[in-house]
Amino acid sequence: MKKTTKITLSNIVSRALNAQKQFDQFGFPFTLNPTVGCSFACKFCYSPIFVAKIPSGKRKQFFENIRVKMEIPSLLDKELTKLAHLPQHLKRVQINETSDYYLPIVVKALEKQNRDIMREILEIFQKHDAAGNHWMLHILTKSNLILNHLDILTEMKHMVQIEISFTTPDDNLRKQLEFFTIPTGERLKVVSALSKSGLFVRIMAMPFCGNESDMQLLKDTAFNSGAQAFKNKALNYYDWEQLQALSYDDLVNDKIERVSGRPDSKDLTLMIKSGETINPEQTIKVLMPLQKQGKAKLMDWSAVSKTDERLVISDRAIIDCGYSSISSINWGYIQ
């Protein structure tokens, strides 16, 4: 396996927050990705094709060429000011949604520049929170390097949920599916360290490889380490058996077969504090982005500066995301 990872520190970035054209009860109004590309090289990763929009045959570019968006913090500061008027339940962002910032190579390259883009991002959210512009951050990672930020994350624990991904509780299987991630036991230590500092940790079994008892084992083990929430999703687009047999060269050279037409399935019986509707179900009226005519599922708020003109009253089922256990803010339809 030959691997050379290249880092590009880029000033070319048009925005920090990406407003989502559609999000269901399990999704988020905004995402923020400080980097594009990820050297963890999970075989099932579909960011290269669907999100980073890497052309066919160029998957290697995603796994071996990481671009860091250096201007994100200054853009974010301006965007948060512009979006301060949004209803509270829309001020939610998932960070690291399509690429993991917490890569050793990214952290080292930024240290040489005396920069830490993620810390700068956190400081900006913290500054706006102190001024009354409250956001909820969902920070997704598979890396122990998130512990570099344990100090500031602990200060922000009322406005942060950390989401640690696991594909399986079995470390031998993990090695077959993710080339360069940290071992399962190390990831559980991260869950434990974050939880001991009072941070809310969600386990993201997405995509999960295994049966229901494997998933229950992962949930029990992680909750014993302090996790409080669990979210899961089955594999889409690929087949587990084919992925297990795939070499690194085959992965980066796009020798991977797509499976189409599979539903985006979740096991709701194990999900907890991750967007499930409360029982008994209740609906309330909240302001949500207007849907484009003729495109029933698409939310029309691509021009974030005009979002106040694009909100309409909608019925929304009340969901549990564990917010009420970390924050006294009224999040509308989200508890």
* Residues making contact with ligand SF4 (CB under 6 A): 38, 40-42, 45, 47, 99-100, 142
Q: Is the dihedral of CA 20, 166, 47, 293 positive or negative?
A: negative
CA–CA separation, 196 and 157 (whole Å):
12
Residue whose CB is less far from ligand SF4, 30 or 40: 40
Give me the residues paired with residue 231 across strands: 204
**Least distance to ligand SF4 from the beta carbon of 155, Å?**
26
**Least distance to ligand SF4 from the beta carbon of 32, Å?**
14
Structure tokens at 180: 């360069």
**Least distance to ligand SF4 from the beta carbon of 289, Å?**
27
CA–CA separation, 246 and 177 (whole Å):
9
Torsion of the alpha carbons at 286, 291, 293 and 298, rounded to the nearest 10: -160
Residue whose CB is less far from ligand SF4, 45 or 287: 45
Residue whose CB is less far from ligand SF4, 16 or 243: 243
Residue whose CB is less far from ligand SF4, 204 or 288: 204
* Contact predicate 110/69, CB 8 Å: no
Q: Transcribe 214-239 into DSSP letters.
A: HHHHHHHHHHHTT--EEEE----SS-
**Least distance to ligand SF4 from the beta carbon of 322, Å?**
22
CA–CA separation, 5 and 207 (whole Å):
25
**Least distance to ligand SF4 from the beta carbon of 143, Å?**
8
Residue whose CB is less far from ligand SF4, 94 or 307: 94
Residue whose CB is less far from ligand SF4, 32 or 299: 32
CA–CA separation, 263 and 1 (whole Å):
34
- 292 backbone dihedrals φ, ψ, rounded to 5°: -65, 140
**Least distance to ligand SF4 from the beta carbon of 24, Å?**
21
